[in-house]
Amino acid sequence: MAAITQPPSGMRDLLPEDVRRRERVIGAVRQVYESHGFEPLETPSCERLDVLLGKYGDEGDQLMFRVMHRRDKLRSALDDGALRTDPERVLADMALRYDLTVPLARVVAEHQGKLPRVFKRFQIQPVWRADRPQKGRFREFLQCDLDVAGSSARTVEVEVLSAASEVLQRLGFADFRVRINHRGVLAGMIEAAGIPAELEASTFVAIDKLDKIGRDGVLRELATRGVTAESAASIATMLDPVDGGNDAELARLRTFLAPSPRGLAALDDLAAVLALAAGSPLAARLAVDPSLARGLSYYTGSIFEITVPDLAGSLGGGGRYDGLIGIFLGRDVPACGFSLGLERIIVVMEERGMFGGPTAAADAMVGIFDASLTRDALALARELRETGLRVDLHCDASKIGKQYQDADSRGVPCVALVGPDEVGRGTVSLKWLKTGERAEVPRGEAAAWIRQRLGTT
């Protein structure tokens, strides 16, 4: 047979070990986010095309996976005059979710009566983008979003960042930095550098590329976009790191932003977030970074990014965006959020060996001594499971050596057997595969014997 058995391009099968690793990361995210008073939300995989279109720019509209009309509706769409000019619109009215922010905005509008005034939610669900598949970039991947909708208080920034950084801490990351900047500070820098307001957006875009193209690349890009050499040189001084930490950076910014009242106001706002975080574990991670721009256009206040030294790009990012959540309500709803890059976190954890070795499918396997003793084996498996152990049962009475091999091939560390002698004596024979250690213990003590060797109690 030559059947194609691969998953679709850019999508993955997650085998048991992959799922267990993901679950471990997701479990940490969920626990930390719930401990901060955030609540879980789930939305459908599909959204109406009208909900999605126009929210992500032209590229986003192109990269959506559209779900085709069915039967009669599809057939009548084929007769639609607009079929040739606008087939994406005529042949479909739904698409797979592109992110978790637009669905949040829709939910805030749809369920406003049922949601608290300040809605603190997290959402961990896949999103789909028809990007060109490449190493580490998939067409279906999990997003992991944390947002507060309905408050413009600065405690929100601190809570969002504390929660995201506690997740990384909990997962074992010791060397991450939480870079922070402010869109108003950036705008003020642009103003103070004498760059005209109409070049503000292109200047953001150029600065956002600093990590990829370097300082000189940014200068060249600014020139291309029409920024004078003098202004470009002026703003570029602020892209270099400064010695002396956040206080020195804030002082440098205060001097630079002197000509821009709005820049100074934004700097006060940024300083207020830092002041609220002072004394917390987050404070030691926070690094004010005037070169942080973030790609998305919708941010209106603080912006953040979490980075580690061995990964280009970030482990996650976010910021305040007071204009977006209210799109469906028709009025602004202040909001601030953070999106953890779960797939990247897993990649870094794998590269660093942070997951340890493969996890076993079960804590023990009960073998079947011979077919006539199958019920005894089933009973033993039941007893061990009742103590909370994960216990596999060998499906048949193969040769015992074969049964040991089957356990070993699944990483199961222990095999338990009851033969006729053990039945007579009320015991279990146990073998710890890694060391070869064997013991015959009273039936009631088998679970404890296994647990002791698993290192759990």
Please tell me whether residue 26 binds a second copy under the rule CB under 8 A: no
Choosing from 35, 224, 372, 456, the residue that interacts with a second copy (CB under 8 A) is: 35
Choosing from 155, 237, 297, 452, the residue that interacts with a second copy (CB under 8 A) is: 155
Please tell me whether residue 1 binds a second copy under the rule CB under 8 A: yes
Instruction: Please name the residue that has the structure tokens 């309500």.
Output: 329
Q: Which two tokens stand for residue 213?
A: 């193209």
Helix (H, G, I), strand (E, B) or coil at 24: helix
CB 238 within 8 A of CB 252: yes
Tell me how far apart the alpha carbons of residues 122 and 117 are, in angstroms, rounded to a whole number: 16
Choosing from 55, 80, 89, 151, the residue that interacts with a second copy (CB under 8 A) is: 151
User: Which residue lies nearer to a second copy by CB, 85 or 255?
Assistant: 85
Nearest distance, CB of residue 22 and a second copy, angstroms: 8
What are phi and psi for residue 93, nearest 5 degrees?
-130, 5
Nearest distance, CB of residue 67 and a second copy, angstroms: 5
Choosing from 25, 28, 29, 106, the residue that interacts with a second copy (CB under 8 A) is: 106
Cα 375–chain centre separation = 46
Report the relative pairing of strands 119-128 and 39-40 from DSSP bridges.
parallel
Q: Which residue spans within 135-215 are E strands per DSSP? A: 140-149, 177-182
Please tell me whether residue 131 binds a second copy under the rule CB under 8 A: no
Task: Identify which range of 126-134, 172-180, 431-439, 440-448 contacts a second copy by CB under 8 A.
Answer: 126-134
Query: In residues, how long is the chain?
Result: 457
Question: Residue 54: enclosing H or E segment and its boundaries?
Answer: none
Residues 192-251 that bind a second copy (CB under 8 A): none
Nearest distance, CB of residue 143 and a second copy, angstroms: 14
Choosing from 153, 233, 258, 284, the residue that interacts with a second copy (CB under 8 A) is: 153
CB 321 within 8 A of CB 338: no
Please tell me whether residue 159 binds a second copy under the rule CB under 8 A: yes
**Cβ neighbours of residue 432 under 8 Å, at least 6 residues apart?**
413, 414, 438, 453
Residues 385-444 that bind a second copy (CB under 8 A): 385, 388-393, 395-396, 406, 409-410, 412
Report the relative pairing of strands 119-128 and 316-320 from DSSP bridges.
unpaired
User: Which residue lies nearer to a second copy by CB, 12 or 215?
Assistant: 12
DSSP secondary structure of 320-369: E-TTTGGGGTTS---EEEEEE-HHHHHHHHHHTTTT-SPPPS-SEEE--S
Using CB under 8 A as the criterion, what x/- string covers residues 304-343 for binding a second copy? -----------------------xxxx-------------
Please tell me whether residue 82 binds a second copy under the rule CB under 8 A: no
Task: Identify which range of 217-225, 230-238, 286-294, 376-384 contacts a second copy by CB under 8 A.
Answer: 376-384
Beta bridge partners of 337: 147, 319
User: Which residue lies nearer to a second copy by CB, 7 or 196?
Assistant: 7
